[in-house]
Amino acid sequence: MPDKSNPDGERPVVLEQLPDFPVSSPRAHVRIQQKIDLILLALEALELGGSEYMLKTAKELQLKNIIKNRVILWRLRCSNPWRRSYTRDELSLEQAKGLVAIACSRANQLKVLIRQLLIAEHQMKEKGFPLESNFRLSEYLERFRAHFASRMNPRRAKVAFYLADETALNELALSLLRELLFCGGVKGKERFWISLFDGEVE
């Protein structure tokens, strides 16, 4: 993840808040890119028109130089190797930070909904009810599964595994939802960003 400084002007404050770490291997880049895209996918499953909100948030966070439009956002997200349209591009440090800042800002906006869904999940599991009994939770899981199936490459072994096992895919959606809760916290952005480099630095 080379750091391409912004030649057009000052760096957005939100990028200054996230520290730089040296990444140990190309595989680490791939894992980080994959995680960022999946977190954004979970956000899209939470709210209709999620990508529009992401672009709006990019503008609010003064990240327009990094994420200029919908096509750029889509191309950056296609750095996830699980994608059907995997571009093999490597995200720059600023692009990765920009996407994390957007995800955490959206997670903060949706904090109440995320809490409600996780509380509902806990209650359903405690009572032994299927998760689909809760309408909002069912809606989130259904949307996540649909987004995952339409965008991820079924020829990838892990994707094929998730597509064949609905329970495993639901668990992936829930684990991303739990992470989104932490992303929306007071220091959520910093915590999530640092967690991406866990086990990846020398």
Partner 1 sequence: MTIKRQYSSPNCKLILEGLSQNTDSSPLNGLPLMSILINSECHFLNSDKIISGGLDFFKNFVKAVSSYSQEFLSGIPHPIETHSDTDKVVLQKVEGKDLHHLIWESPDNNEKVEMDLTTVQLFDLVETVDQFLADPLTLPDIKWNVQPVSRRYRQIDEPLVKRATPVGLGVAGLALTGVALLFAPIPEEMKDPNRQPSPQPNPSETLPNTQAPNSGEPTPQPNQEK
Residues in contact with partner 1 by the rule CB under 8 A: 21, 24, 115, 118-119, 121-122, 125, 178-179, 181-182, 185-187, 190-192, 194-202
- Which residue, 67 or 180, has its beta carbon nearer to partner 1? 180
CB of 22 to partner 1, least distance (A): 10
The closest of 59, 63, 68, 64 to 16, measured between CA atoms, is 63
d(CA 139, CA 147): 12
The minimum distance between CB 183 and partner 1, in angstroms, equals 9
Of residues 72 and 118, the one with the C-beta less far from partner 1: 118
User: Of 17 and 85, which has the nearer Cβ to partner 1?
Assistant: 17
Q: How far apart are CA 155 and CA 128, in angstroms?
A: 34
Q: How far is the CB of 155 from partner 1 (least distance, A)?
A: 19
Say which DSSP state 20 is in: P
Which residue's CB is nearer to partner 1, number 73 or number 100? 100
Residue reference for tokens 């595994």: 161
The residue among 123 and 133 lying less far from partner 1, judged by its C-beta, is 123
Rounded least distance, CB 75 to partner 1, Å: 26
CA-to-CA dists, residue 52 to 4, 112, 147, 170, 176, angstroms: 26, 20, 16, 25, 20
Q: Which amino acid is at 21?
A: F
Q: How far apart are CA 200 and CA 147, in angstroms?
A: 28
Nearest-approach distance from CB 166 to partner 1, in angstroms: 18
